[in-house]
Structure 1
C-alpha cells in the first residue's frame, strides 16, 4: 500500500533503529489519542509531552546527527529516506509536531555545514540531551530578503563580537539553546552566521507571533556577546549556508502535506461511506465519487513525486545537482496539491469539516501554511523557471538513479558548496520517462507538452513579459507540471502502480495543464502567437468509464475502514 497507514507500517526500513523510531512515534500518538490531540491544538498547548518523548527515546539525536558526528552503536545517520518517513508520520498526526522537528532541522543545518568543531560538539551534546534548535533568518521588516538583514555584528578590539538586531517568525526560539542566526558585519557588510542562546540575558524573547501550539518567536539581541566559538560562517560561506540549509529543510514541507492529506482522507471517506442521504449512501453519488477519485489520484501523485525527489536528494553531488529543481517543486507543487486535496475532501464532508472533534478541522487550517513556509510559492517558482531552458533543450546523460532506501548517510547535503551556477545545471532527457509508458491520458499530456515547447520557440516571452512575474508564474506552473509528471512516471515503474491508476493521475494532469493554458491565454499581455498555442494546449482528458470504475473499486473505495485514530 503506497499511502501511510499507522496500523500497517509496510514501508521499507533499512535498519532496526529506523523501524523502531517510526513504530514508537506512531505508538506515542496513538496512545495520546485524538481527543487530547485536538484539545492541545485548540488550547495552543506547547508540545512538551512530545519533546519529552523524543528526548527519552533519543529520536532527534538519531534523526539529526550525520554519521560522522554519531557515537558508536547509536545508529545516527542523516538519511533522507528516513527523514521523509518520519516527517510524513508527524504531519499525519499534527503539523505542530512536524514543525518542532522541521525548524530544528533548519537550526542545526548551518552548524553541521560549518567548520566550527566546538559548535558541532555542543550541538551533538544538546541533541543527546533532547534539545531543539532554531533558524534565525527572517526579519520583521524584510521577511526572507536576507540581502537586507538588519542583524548587525560588530567586532571589538579584543577580537570578540557584539550582535544587535531582531529576528521574526522564528520557530522554537523560545527554548533553543542554539539559534543559528544570520547577520551582517557592521564595518564591511560581510555576511556572518553565528549561534545565540535563547536563555541568555541579552536575548529578549519579545513574543509568540502566532496563536498556536508552536512558539514562533520575535526575538531581539541587545549587545549580545559572541566569541569565535559562536561563529559558524563568514562571507559567502554564510550566504551559502543559509540557502543550502533551506534546500535541506524545505523538502520536508511536502511530506507534512502528504501526511495531513492521508489522515484527512481516511476520516472524510469513512464519514461519507457511513452516511445516508435520500436513501443512498453518500459515496454512491456520482459527484462524490469524482471528488474522492480526484483527491486520491492527486494524493498518490504527491507521494510518488516526493519519494522520487528523495532518490535525487540522496544521489546529489557536485556533478549531479538535479535536486535543485526537484526540491523546490517538492516544496511548491506538493504543498499546493495538498491544499487541493483538502478542498476536494471538504466539498464532500461540508459542514462536518468544521466540527471541533474532527481531525479534519485541524487539517483544513494547517494545510494552508505549508506553501507559505521556507520561501513562498512565488519565490520557489522564480527558482524553478531558471532551469527550464536546459531541461527542455539541453539534456545530458546520467546514470539511472534507483530507489535509494538503503539507509546511507547523505553527507553531500552538508557540503553543497556555492549556490550559484543554477543556469548551468543539466537534466536527463524527460522523454525517457514519458516514452516508457503508453496510456490514453498520458498521450494527451505529451501533446500538451510538445505544444508548450513549441510556444517557447515560436512565441517566446517578450522583453516586457520576461519582467512580468505574474506572466512568468503561469509559465512556471506549466513547466512544473512537466517535471512533476516525469518523476511520477519514474516512480510508477519502481512502485508498480497499476495502469488504470496512472492514467487517472494523468486525467487530472491534463485538466490542470488546460487550466494554466487558459490562464495564460487570458493574460493582458499574451500575444496572438501565444494565444494560438494556448488554445492548442486546452485539451479534454480521455473518458473511460471502465478505467474509472476500476480505480474506484480497486483503489479509492478500499480506503474505507482502513484507519481511525483512537479517541
Structure 2
C-alpha cells in the first residue's frame, strides 16, 4: 500500500535534501530565518523576472534591488563568524541557484569572488575600508583574472603586466569573461609585476582612464549574467590600490581554493531546481490518458536526479564543515567542484529529457538549468584541471604540463 505524497512538499523536501531544513538544524535561528526570508523574496520578487531576463540576456536591476536589502552577507542576529562561515554562504548559494543560476552567479560575484579577494588579499586597513560597503552593495566589484588567451593555464600564462614607478603602478593587458564588470565600481585586476614576475592584484576603478569594456554577446548559458572583455591600456593606480596580501600565484590559489566550494554549492542548488521543475511538470502533464508521473521510466529518471541532489548536498555540506574547521585542502574543494558539477550536467539533462520537447521552453524552467549547467561545469576550474589537482593529491605526482 502506498502513502499519497503530500502535495505541499517540494520534491527536494521528500528526502530531506532541502537547504532550509538543513539550515534549521545546522545554523542558528537567525541564520535559518535569513535563508527563509531569502527564499520568500526569490519566490515573490525574483522568480517572476528570470525567464524574461534569460530571453533578453539582461539582468534586471530589480533582482539585485530585491536581494541587496536582505543583508545576506551579515544578517541581523547572526554572529560574525557564522555569517562568514562557508556553510552559511554555501546554503545561500544553494537557495539562490535553485531559483536561477545566473542570479546565484551575479550575487556570488559580489559576495564570493570580489569580497573574498578583498578579505583574503587585503590589508587590515583595506578590509576595514571596503568590506562594509561590499556587504551592503554600496561598493560593487568584479573579479578580473581570466584572459582571452589564458584560462586554465592562467597560473603560468597570465600576461597582464603591472609596472611600478614610485608610488604608482601602470597596468596593461586584457581580461575576458569578467562577470558583472559593466555594473561594477571597481575591478579586482590580477597582473604580473614587471619587477619580480609575481602576480599582484589591484583595485582598478571601472571608469579609470585607459579602461574599456565590451560586453560578450551570443552566449547560450548564463544569459542574464553580463560578462565583459576588458582592455587595460596604461591604466594608472596608486600603491594603495594594490591588495597587500597578494604577492604571488600561491596567494591567488588560496583564494581560488575557497571559491571552488561556492561553485560546488551552486551546482548542487542547480540540481535541486531542475528536480523541482521536472516533478512539477510530470504531475501536471498527461499522456496516453494518465499523468506522466505514473510512468516507470519517468520515475526512474526522477529517482536518479534525487540521488544526485542528495549526494551532492551531502558532499558540499561536508566540504563546508572542513573549511569552517580550517582543515580542508585544495584537493577537497577541487574534488567537490569536479564531482558536483559533473552530476549537475547529468541531473539537468535528465530533467530536460523528462519534460520532452517542452524541455526547451523557458516556461518550464528546466531549459535554463540545462543550459546553465554547462557554464558551471567549466568556470572556476574546469573538470580537467580540478581532476588533475585531485590526482596530484592522490599520487603525489603532478600531471600538469
- Scaled by the length of structure 2, the TM-score of the pair is 0.86
**Shift in CA distance, 10/204, structure 1 to aligned 2, threshold 3 Å:** closer
Could you tell me which residue of structure 1 aligns to residue 142 of structure 2? 134
Could you tell me which residue of structure 2 aligns to residue 447 of structure 1? none
- 3-state DSSP class of the match of 1:123? helix
Task: For 2:125 and 2:245, locate their aligned partners in 1 and report how far apart those are by CA, in whole Å.
Answer: 16
- Counting only pairs closer than 5 Å after superposition, residues 307-456 of structure 1 correspond to structure 2 as 307-316=317-326, 320-321=327-328, 323-389=329-395, 423=396
Match of 2:105 among 99, 109, 115: 99
Alignment pair present for 1:109 and 2:119: no
Task: For 1:261 and 1:71, locate their aligned partners in 2 and report how far apart those are by CA, in whole Å.
Answer: 30
Task: For 1:78 and 1:292, locate their aligned partners in 2 and report how far apart those are by CA, in whole Å.
Answer: 35
Could you tell me which residue of structure 1 aligns to residue 39 of structure 2? 26
Could you tell me which residue of structure 1 aligns to residue 279 of structure 2? 269
Task: For 2:116 and 2:290, locate their aligned partners in 1 and report how far apart those are by CA, in whole Å.
Answer: 54
- Scaled by the length of structure 1, the TM-score of the pair is 0.62
- Counting only pairs closer than 5 Å after superposition, residues 81-96 of structure 1 correspond to structure 2 as 81-96=87-102
Alignment pair present for 1:56 and 2:69: yes
**Shift in CA distance, 277/128, structure 1 to aligned 2, threshold 3 Å:** closer
**Shift in CA distance, 198/20, structure 1 to aligned 2, threshold 3 Å:** farther
**Shift in CA distance, 327/99, structure 1 to aligned 2, threshold 3 Å:** same
Task: For 2:69 and 2:287, locate their aligned partners in 1 and report how far apart those are by CA, in whole Å.
Answer: 49
Match of 1:260 among 265, 270, 277: 270
**Shift in CA distance, 208/468, structure 1 to aligned 2, threshold 3 Å:** closer
CA shift, 1:378, in A, is 0.2
Could you tell me which residue of structure 2 aligns to residue 11 of structure 1? 24
**Shift in CA distance, 74/356, structure 1 to aligned 2, threshold 3 Å:** same
CA shift, 1:284, in A, is 3.0
Whether the 8 Å CA contact 1:190–1:234 is kept in 2: the answer is no
CA shift, 1:234, in A, is 7.3
Instruction: Note the residue ranges of structure 1 that are not aligned, 5 or more in a row.
Output: 64-69, 390-422, 425-465, 470-567
Q: How many residues align?
A: 381
**Shift in CA distance, 279/31, structure 1 to aligned 2, threshold 3 Å:** closer
CA shift, 1:168, in A, is 0.8
After superposition, give the CA deviation of every residue in 1:105-161 in whole Å (9 maximum; x if it has no partner): 1222232223523432332242254133211111001224221222111111x3321
- Counting only pairs closer than 5 Å after superposition, residues 167-316 of structure 1 correspond to structure 2 as 167-209=175-217, 211=219, 212-233=223-244, 237-316=247-326
Task: For 1:56 and 1:150, locate their aligned partners in 2 and report how far apart those are by CA, in whole Å.
Answer: 38
After superposition, give the CA deviation of every residue in 1:208-264 in whole Å (9 maximum; x if it has no partner): 3554211211112222112121111477x3312211111111111222122222122
Task: For 1:222 and 1:234, locate their aligned partners in 2 and report how far apart those are by CA, in whole Å.
Answer: 25
- 3-state DSSP class of the match of 2:183? coil
